[in-house]
Amino acid sequence: MTTHVQRPRLADRRAQGAQARSATPLESHRGWAPPPDRADPVALLEEQNQARDADLVPVRHGRMLASPFTFYRGAAKIMAEDLWRTPTAGLTVQLCGDAHLSNFGVYGSAERSLVFDINDFDETLAGPFEYDVKRLAASFTIAARHRGFAKDDVRSVTRAAASSYREAMAGFAEMKTLDVWYAHLSEDELLRSVQAAVTDLSGAGKDRKALKKQEKRAQAVALKARTRDSAQALAKLGELVDGGYRIVSQPPFIVPLRDVHTIYPSFPGDAGELIEQQLAAYGRTLSPDRRRLLERFEFVDAARKVVGVGSVGTRAFIALLQGRDEQDPLFLQMKEATSSVLESHLPKSRYRQSGQRVVQGQRMMQATSDIFLGWTTGADASRSYYWRQLRDMKGSVDVEVMTPEGMTFYARTCGWTLARAHARSGDPVAIAKYLGKLDTFDAAIADFAKYYARQNDRDYEAFAGAVRTGRIEAANELT
């Protein structure tokens, strides 16, 4: 039996956006002040740590302690507890859930071309579009302040992200449905945009030498990304023993299967068999053609590998497979998926298995996704995992070398990309009508980001104080 879905007319969709603006004025997004009953930020991190590997929790803290910006990267739980109190227009999209600027970058499409997109979906969930916009905008304010930019530059960078989102959504509202779905930002388009920005800014009297340096950095990121594949991973993470490759041991950051009992005493004796069972279960979540491709590889070795900032302490493994011979490797990553931090105050995911939630959210938001995306339930049924290639031509910008002009360009790129991701699952017509044609929304979001960046500073100081007093432990990875 076919279910008939009632689709609203274009005029009704625009009316929904206009009504939302009346109910939740754009100016209402301005500012931020912590409520009297705001949760202790350190306690929220401690709550997350309870389900994480205890030996890695100090590593997580050490990475977050580096600066207010790295703290923000690991503090998605804290911001989720704040965002639910902020005004929303009632326009739902598939959220990234952790849309800070370092969770965007380039990676390889199935056709082996580079695309720019969001690349982290651990917290993905359906919810108000403003959540992602506010987290993205605040990340630019915090990063710009971290770089020591002047106040005007900080605000300009932040507004660029918000205005780009608004303007891009207006464009998607005018596009045909399939055109929105196929929209993406290719390597060539990105580099052309960089070159155009250099030309425009040079004409405006900006330092041409500094701008050309930014252009060269963008080209270098793309060039380096093209080298980041399983062969490169084998050179860095593998060692040849008795004619075959195995994963190197670099505890606590890389702990091979042969040593895994040192961190997981209760791990099953035949760990290799367990991983192969997981591989088989994971393969069943792939489409038949990709399952057949996976079956052309055989399992060689696996290891626990520490990744990220906020993810540190959740379980993550890498698996080395080989195809026709030892020089034909495939590295897969098996990463634990916990409940989204947004689920405390938003409706639960329609997917009961968190790994499936991540994979389906990623497929919804990305223009093109890793062909090896899949999921499994662990040997411990309380744990869920998602699978992907470890290195799939991934590349990202280095915040530490960004100039105001470079960060402004990057903010506009991320704003466009986030709007495109939201337009795939939400209603771009209603959202565009809500946002309007003026810069009222941009100014309000920039104002929110300014105040939330100050809150992040206070939270960071509370976190650093907890380390100093011994309430929590932070590891120095250099020692």
What pLDDT is stored for residue 476 in this prediction? 80
Answer with the one of 339, 356, 389 that is the final residue of a domain.
389
Query: For residue 44, is it within any domain?
Result: yes
- Does 450 lie in the same domain as 364? no
- Does 80 lie in the same domain as 206? yes
Contact of 464 with 70, CB cutoff 8 Å? no
pLDDT of residue 376 exceeding 90: yes
Lowest mean per-residue pLDDT among 206-220, 245-259, 266-280, 387-401: 206-220
Q: Tell me which of 200 and 158 has the higher pLDDT.
A: 158
* The model scores a pTM over 0.85: yes
Q: What is the C-alpha separation between 344 and 360, in angstroms, rounded?
A: 20
Query: For residue 344, is it within any domain?
Result: yes
- pLDDT tens digits for range 40-53: 999 999 999 998 98
Q: What is the C-alpha separation between 340 and 127, in angstroms, rounded?
A: 12
- Does 160 lie in the same domain as 212? yes
Contact of 115 with 109, CB cutoff 8 Å? yes
What pLDDT is stored for residue 269 in this prediction? 64
Mean per-residue pLDDT, 50-65: 93
* Among 457, 449, 460, residue whose Cα is nearest residue 130: 449
Contact of 157 with 453, CB cutoff 8 Å? no
- Does 384 lie in the same domain as 327? yes
Query: For residue 234, is it within any domain?
Result: yes
Q: What is the C-alpha separation between 356 and 135, in angstroms, rounded?
A: 24
| Lookup: tokens for 114 | 């580079």
Most confident of 148-157, 262-271, 375-384: 148-157
| Lookup: tokens for 459 | 């939270």
Q: What is the C-alpha separation between 335 and 339, in angstroms, rounded?
A: 13
Mean per-residue pLDDT, 110-127: 94
- pLDDT tens digits for range 207-259: 666 667 777 877 887 788 888 889 999 999 999 998 899 999 999 899 998 88
Q: What is the C-alpha separation between 260 and 241, in angstroms, rounded?
A: 19
Annotate 235-293 with DSSP letters as a single string: HHHEEEETTEEEEPPBTTTEEEGGGGGGT-TTS-S-HHHHHHHHHHHHHTTS-HHHHHH
Residue 275's contacts (CB-CB under 8 Å, 6 or more residues apart) are 257, 299, 302, 317, 319
Query: For residue 476, is it within any domain?
Result: no
What pLDDT is stored for residue 322 in this prediction? 96
- Does 194 lie in the same domain as 153? yes
pLDDT of residue 479 exceeding 50: no
Query: For residue 478, is it within any domain?
Result: no
Query: For residue 49, is it within any domain?
Result: yes
Residue 306's contacts (CB-CB under 8 Å, 6 or more residues apart) are 56, 59, 252, 253, 254, 312, 316
pLDDT of residue 117 exceeding 80: yes
Query: For residue 474, is it within any domain?
Result: no
- Does 195 lie in the same domain as 60? yes
Mean per-residue pLDDT, 398-405: 90
* Among 452, 456, 414, residue whose Cα is nearest residue 96: 414
Answer with the one of 338, 365, 389 that is the final residue of a domain.
389
- Does 236 lie in the same domain as 140? no
Question: What is the side-by-side strand order in the sheet with 185-186?
Answer: 104-108, 114-118, 185-186
Which of the four pLDDT bands, split at 50, 70 and 90, describes residue 372? very high
- pLDDT tens digits for range 425-438: 999 999 999 999 99
Query: For residue 473, is it within any domain?
Result: no
What pLDDT is stored for residue 227 in this prediction? 84
Which amino acid, one-letter code, is at 442? D
Q: What is the C-alpha separation between 23 and 181, in angstroms, rounded?
A: 30
Q: Count CB atoms within 10 A of the CB of residue 478.
A: 5
Work out how many domains the chain is built from and give that number: 2
What pLDDT is stored for residue 391 in this prediction? 84
- Does 349 lie in the same domain as 409? no
Q: What is the C-alpha separation between 376 and 182, in angstroms, rounded?
A: 29
- Does 282 lie in the same domain as 330? yes
- Does 115 lie in the same domain as 175? yes
Annotate 74-127 with DSSP letters as a single string: T-HHHHHHHHTTS---S-EEEE-S---GGGEEEEE-TTS-EEEEE---TT-EEE
- Does 236 lie in the same domain as 347? yes
Answer with the one of 361, 389, 417 that is the final residue of a domain.
389
What pLDDT is stored for residue 268 in this prediction? 64
- Does 63 lie in the same domain as 123? yes
What pLDDT is stored for residue 260 in this prediction? 82
Residue owning tokens 């449905």: 177
Domain containing 26 equals 10-99+106-225+399-468
Element (H, E) at 302: strand 298-305
Per-residue DSSP letter, 431? H
Residue owning tokens 């091979």: 256
